[in-house]
Structure 1
Amino acid sequence: MESLSFSFFLTTTIKPHPLLSTTKIKRFSCSMKEASAYSYQKFVQFALDQTKLSTSHLIPSYLQDDFSTLKAMDGKTDLKMCSYQAPKIRLLRNLSIEQSDGMQVMDFAVFPEAEFDLPIFCANFFTSANTNIVVLDLNPLHDVINETHYKQKYYKSLIPLGLKYAELLPWGGKLTSESLQFFSPIVIWSKFSSSHEKHDILFSAFKDYYKAWLNLMNQATEETDVSQISLNREAQHRYLTWRAQKDPGYNILKRLIGETLAKDVVKKFLFNGVNELGNKTFLDYFPEYECGDGSINEKRSIVGKSFENRPWDARGVFVDDIFS
């Protein structure tokens, strides 16, 4: 989300060579070979295996034909993508970035069909030789700060799980108030030094959170009210519109693979649906970001308030009144 996506992690890590090399998109499967001790490949494989156990109709997305494997212009960085869909899943997709020096990134997400008000599963992980920066959450489709019903429906039973990992993976520092509207009370936002122990804890958290999401998916019933489906669709479109505009991934990807491919990866793959689920613009949803000349304010935060510590208490109640 905002500055916490994979692309943020790369801003000081990847320095692409200015000379363009041949870039080719190839077919790629999420099934991966054994890799280094800190590889995120097993995370993706676990998610795929568990999803297949929950639905017998997980099939490759049409996006797989256009987004698979890219070689960055620096000749040292690989971008691998895969995508799937299922009856309740509009899109399950992953982007992995691997650099020859051992740096790894995973941007994994699962978006529900509009007939279901399920949260959006989100995992953004970065690892270098010494550092890990992670975000793991079941991003709420609707407001969990002011809408008690939605929070009770999906997060009440998950608060103990969130508290468990809040102890093991402590809060990672300042988080802008704008970002919080897209996070749940169980979000894991953490920074820590690389170690086998921490990596194992993160893998455990990923497995528990993903199984929790699948359990919610299995219990979810299809919405038949047209007005509610429309609300779900707009909520997801609003989320995607924010991510596509404010996530700095575009600038990083532009340096890695060129402007044209970067636009395609951001809007057609990472945040697929921003062009299909609705017609509203970023400023329609977030008019406070409009500049005097009608352009979009590029600042990370215009509210200017950030949270150094976790802003939810042990019951999952938001402890600041900024959104009330």
Structure 2
Amino acid sequence: MEDFVAGWIGGASSVLVGHPMDTVKTRLQAGTGYRNTVDCILTMFKKEGVTGFFKGMSFPLASIAVYSSVVFGVFSNTQKFLIQYRYGESSESSSLSDLFLASMVSGVISVGLGGPVDLIKIRLQMQTEPFHKEDLHSKPRPKDLWNRPMYQGPIHCMTSIVQKEGLLGLYRGANAMLLRDVPGYCLYFIPYAIINEWITPDNNTTCSPYSVCLAGGIAGAISWGTATPMDVVKSRLQADGVYCNKYKGVMDCISQSCQKEGYKVFFKGFTMNTVRGFPMSAAMFLGYELSLEILKGDQTVTNP
């Protein structure tokens, strides 16, 4: 239970730190008219002010904390199960194969819980993008509604999607998310465990904030950087449907994006993904480890 509570606190910490950069990343990947990261930031600031960077944050703050709680809880408990199954003792340390299997299980679970959360977050982040009436695939909208937000908030966004597309509509882009998160979590938890163990002194029985932040930040940068190509596809599939429906699925999105913008399109937001991955993951792991240490009291904390 402590792992789930600590995961909740870590998730909330990561949202507070990383959401502004996440908004920029989403606009770069699924939006139009931005030359680069700096241009996107300046354009957003001029048009929407500081609040534009926090658009759609209320729902992730309330839900991603729960989502992270489950992911970290599943990861830690899967590790414990594998250790007990292999060795019959919970005191043994995890092997690389244990970390790999636990990471894969976490990745699968993350899609089931995080798919709807990510979809609503991206829809809210993207709804200020201009409506292009010349788009032949666009749904008809009156002129006076072109510059109005499609959704009034996260609840309205969710109910609108369910009404138009059914419950399965909440899992738009889930296949791309699965292809992103299963390897992504392997490159998240495994580097963290290895780096944290490497830089933590042997006689240190409690987590060092410095070690946790450094290891978590590096792991986050690696994970999000390598996940960028599939993250682009996922973001486009999930943003699709705010005003129009362009893509039929993962392969169609890859094909259309490549034909129109070339292979470089799959690295849109790479810099922002990598940069934001460091502070987000550092905050995530620090919140998790410190909370776990407090919750377990004098017990020794096992790094994930």
Question: What TM-score range do you get, normalising by the shorter chain?
Answer: under 0.3
TM-score calculated relative to the size of structure 2: 0.28
Larger radius of gyration: 2
The structure where helix makes up a greater share of residues is 2
The structure where strand makes up a greater share of residues is 1
